[in-house]
Each structure stands twice: as structure tokens, then as C-alpha cells.
Structure 1
Amino acid sequence: MRIFIVEDEKLAADRLAKMLLQLESTAEVVATAPSVRKAVELLKLKPQLDLIFMDIQLADGLSFEIFEQVPVEVPIVFTTAYDAYAIKAFKVNSIDYLLKPIDEDELAAALEKFRKLNRQSTAATPQLGALEQAMQLLNDSKNYKSRFIVKVGDHLHTIPIEDVDYFYSFEKATFLQCSSGKRFAIDYIMEQLEQLVDPQHFFRVNRGYLISLKAIKDIVAWSNSRLKLELRQAAKEDVVVSREKVQAFKAWLDR
């Protein structure tokens, strides 16, 4: 079992590798990577891998950004320090997840799940990778948020997702911008929102903005191969698609 560990904390990576070797005598940790950039560099070399353990939050971003830059056909077990609510949202992206600090029994169960899925994949549909099959099954039951609760004074109001133009971060807080022009502070971080809203309709163009397709009025070529967005509800600053997301953004527009 050839394993790739993507983890930005060396002690955590070393501990995971040690646990894997204790639980699986045939395991071999062939590589580790501490960042999105390093993981992409290695995966582009197309190494022979059987399983990837991947932390969600890395030194230079979220591990989900890896999939925007390189095809990943290897089954993945995500590791995360998020609470149970966030884990439920992330689960669709993996065959399993482990809450940090990783428990040995849960790690053993994840390895067994991988073995079973791998056997079923080989026997039933060898043309599909185990990760693809798992994502197909899980995506069938995925429910995205249809509304958000916001507080106005002593009152609570609900905002339908159809009325949201974009989400943005400002001074360590997160805001929801409505198509009506109103904006509200909400109790989510951008990483959570990215998993809670339908990716068919929302795209995270950079670290600070998660944009609805219907909110985009115009797209202009910008410096350093980037794109600048004109939104129907003007933002507090220029909203620019980061260079590393431009290709994925164009593909999203062209669906």
C-alpha cells in the first residue's frame, strides 16, 4: 500500500506515518508534502499511489485547491481539526475523514473501508477509481444550504440563497451581500461557506470572495493573467480572480 501524506505539521505527519506502519505491514509512505504547491508538484509527476491522507488546511491554502490544478484519481482520507458540523460538509470529498488528533481505532477503520471499497471497485467497475465511485454515491445525497439566518438588532431573519450575490471577508469577519444591496455579518468562515453552497452557482475567486454567477455583470482581463469582476452590487474593493484560479473559473463559467 503506497501512501502519500499531505500535512503541514511535521509532527502530525510523522505520527500518522508511524501509526500507518504499525497498522498495515505492507504500507509504505512514499512521500509527504506540507503545502498545496508541493502536493501539486508531486502529483503532476503521476507517482504510483494507492491512498492519500490529506489535511484540509495547509500552509498555503485549502487542500481542495489541489484538485483545481491537477487530476487526482487516488482515494483520499481527509484529516481535519474542524468540528462535527463542518466535517459533515467536507465528507463528500473523500472516502472517509479523520478528526485530529487521529485515533488509532478510527485510522484502522478508515484503512479497512479503503480495502473494501478497493475490492468492490476492482470487481464491479474497474474503469472507475475508488474515489470517483465514492464521490458519486455521496454526491447523490448532498444537500446544500437553501437559506442563511442573520441577526438584525434583536431580531433574526432568513436570507434565501437565491438572494445572495456573494460572501466576503473583511477585518476578520465574514459578510453576506444580498442582491437588494443589504449586507449582513454571518457566523461562518469562508472555508465552511465554500462547502455549504452549491458549486454550480458559487465560485471562490480568491481568499476573500465567494461569488454567485448571477451577481457577475462583467469580466475584464487584469494584470498578471488575472481577471477583474464587475458585480451588480459593488464590493468594498476590486474583486480579482487569483491567477491560480483563472483556469478553473473559466471552466466553471463554461459548464
Structure 2
Amino acid sequence: MTVNGTDQEQETPATVLVVEDEPSIADVLAIALRYHRFDVMTAGTVRQALALTERTRPDAALLDIMLPDGDGRALAHELRSRQPELALVFLTARDAPAEVVGALGFGDDYITKPFNIDEVVARLRAVLRRTRSVDVLPQRPPLTYGDLELDEATYTAHRAGRSVQLTPTEYALLRFLVRNGGRIVTKEQLLRHVWQFEHAATAESTVVETYISYLRRKLDALGPPLITTRRGVGYGLAAS
């Protein structure tokens, strides 16, 4: 298309799979997402969701946790095993800290019900910026820090030559820490640059702690502790 005499290449719309068994909620989400120029597929059960993804690969999935024929977290695990780069956002009525942490162990973000539709759209876009940005990165040398190596062309991580399986959000968080070398970065900086949250709330601060814990568990299994904590300030990487 041409705007003011200049060719503008439109970004390919992201395809979102909405898995929600309440028809009224599914309809609201679908209408709002289509208004914001997403392509939308809807399913009310685990079986329907898996059947849809056999035919079309979505860029993101909005998943209810409690579904008539299964658990949204198990569905997330299955979808991610088929498509590792898939962005996963949970919609849940459960807001207890243990439930939140459990949901984040399977996906990239969570939103509690009742929700604000503008927040759903904003947070979905934030997750997609993390998961889709790799597709447009030019070829460049891997990022390295000590025995850690991040390949931005293939979205993979290795430590001491061994593969580290990371979710898109874990990868984005680790990449930001590596790019900052040995400097300490605050939770506010992480929320702004990794999660694209401009105003941090208590629950969102907990998200950072949760993902730091996930990264530590995966990285420390392959070598000495790598991520350091400066209490009351933030996080960094140990001297390489």
C-alpha cells in the first residue's frame, strides 16, 4: 500500500488461538482481538484446540486453565512441545500466588478474571514482541558470557556446550541480563524492557522473581551459580 507517496509494508497479522469454554467470554475476546487486527481461532475444549492447531500454527494462545475436558496447563505443555516459539498467556480466575507461579511455569504471562480487554490486548502484544522479534533479527554472532552462549538467529541457549531449554520469556530475560554484562539491573528495568510494563505492580514484580527462579534452576544444573541478586536493587550475572 502507499501512504503519502511512500510504500509501507504491513506487518503480517498474528494468529491467536483463544481456548475458553464460556461462549460469552470467547466472543468478547474474539471480537476485540479482530478489532485490533489479529487473526483469531476459537476453541472451547482441549480436543478442539489440538484439532485446530493440526491445521494452522498460531503465533499465540490465550488459554483458560479450567476446561471441560482437561487442564489448560497440560494443553499449554502439549502446544509448546509442538511449537516451542508459541506465545502462551493464561486467563484464570485463580489469583493465589501458588496458582500464579504454577501458571507461569507453563506459559509467558497470566491475566486474572475478570479482566480488562485493553489489558489483554496490551499484554498479548508484549508477549508477541518477545516471541516474534527473533524472526526479524539479522544474522549476528552469538551473545556470550563466560560459558553461556545465546544464538539470536535460532533462539537457543547453551551453557558449557549443553543445550538449555528456555521458554520465549525466559530467553528474553536471560538475553537482557547478558546484554548488560556484569551490571545490576533493577526489577523495574526488567519489567520495562522484557515485559514492556511501564508501571510495575506488586504482582508484576513477583513475575520477575518467578522467572529468575526458573532461569537459576535451569542454568545452575549445568555449572556454577550464574545469576546474582543485589537485595533491594535487582539482578545481574556473576563475574565471568
* TM-score normalized by the length of structure 2: 0.50
Higher strand share: 1
Higher-RCO chain (CA-CA 8 Å, sequence separation at least 6): 2
Which of the two has higher C-alpha Rg?
A: 1
